[in-house]
Amino acid sequence: MTDLFSISGKTALVTGGSRGIGKMIATGFVEAGAKVYVSSRKAEACHELAAELSRVGECIALPADLSTEPGCRALADALAERESMLHILVNNAGNTWGAPFEQFDDAAWDRVLSLNVKGVFHTTKFMTPLLRAASGPDDPARVINIGSIDGIMVSVLETYSYSASKAAVHQLTRNLAKRLAPSITVNAIAPGPFESKMMAATLEAFGEQIATNAPLKRIGRPDDMAGAAIFLASRAGAYLTGALIPVDGGMSTVGA
């Protein structure tokens, strides 16, 4: 059982890894013995987290802007200069936008879709050679896309482009799973409410109500997120591909 859930010795890249969901996953991976590269647009935050996690294991900062195709290619090239293979890619980098329906303009769509959807596609595309190099007969390389329960159920907030982008990530996950099999599995995690910068205002205003309405009666913890990602990245998750796993305390079962 210990070996079944082990990711020790694997190399992982977590985009948007300097805070929130990405930080939870990167921390869990490092503590589980993986060599972890963390990437984010903000270089200072990226290096700060890498220094913090390097006191526990091996963590390297690799800043990048994944909102453009050249930025995604540059990250893949930078990683290829350091590694000959990549066992785990976590596509977590993302953005959100909230505005009233009447004021929701092109900028609200372009900024979110460029990073949340196109960034996932292009990063995966450029990382595929390194992922295939890491694949074994019974242990394929892994891509884990971070979606959201907002892509499953209707959000109470007016975040139209964010919700649409996460639904797109879920479907893109299925398409990539079919295309990249059998050497690479592609699965998605759809987080519910977790403490993060993106969720801070929502939890401050509605946190108690959200927890009360969730079947499991609480907000997600970092180890909840790390555990789901480690499962998908380990031998235990080797036969899953194209799956969408809500990690939400059951919130997606009760509707908006």
pLDDT reported for residue 51: 97
Q: What is the pLDDT of residues 95-114, one digit of tens each?
A: 888 888 889 899 989 999 99
Q: What is the pLDDT of residues 163-190, one digit of tens each?
A: 999 999 999 999 999 999 999 999 999 9
Nearest alpha carbon to residue 133 among 75, 195, 87: 87
| Segment 225-230 mean pLDDT | 98
For 11-247, give the CATH class: alpha beta
Structure tokens at 4: 């079944």
Interhelix angle for 160-180 vs 119-134, to 10°? Answer: 30
Nearest alpha carbon to residue 255 among 146, 148, 152: 152
Q: How confident is the model at residue 201 (pLDDT cuts 50, 70, 90)?
A: low
| Segment 68-90 mean pLDDT | 98
* Residue for token pair 């939890």: 203
Please tell me the distance from the alpha carbon of residue 26 to that of residue 88, in angstroms, as a whole number: 11
| Segment 45-54 mean pLDDT | 97
Q: What is the pLDDT of residues 136-146, one digit of tens each?
A: 989 999 999 99
Percentage of the residues of the chain whose pLDDT score is greater than 90: 77
Nearest alpha carbon to residue 103 among 66, 158, 168, 48: 158
**Do the Cβ atoms of 227 and 220 come closer than 8 Å?**
no
Please tell me the distance from the alpha carbon of residue 119 to that of residue 72, in angstroms, as a whole number: 7
Q: Is 162 a catalytic residue?
A: yes
pLDDT reported for residue 209: 76
**Is the confidence at residue 206, as pLDDT, over 90?**
no
Please tell me the distance from the alpha carbon of residue 2 to that of residue 5, in angstroms, as a whole number: 6
Average pLDDT along the chain: 93
Nearby residues of 147 by Cβ (< 8 Å), 6 or more positions away: 166, 167, 169, 170, 173, 188, 189, 190, 191, 244
* Bridge partner list, 91: 145
Alpha carbon 60 to its chain centroid, in Å, reads 17
pLDDT reported for residue 219: 87
- Domain locations in the chain as residue ranges: 11-247
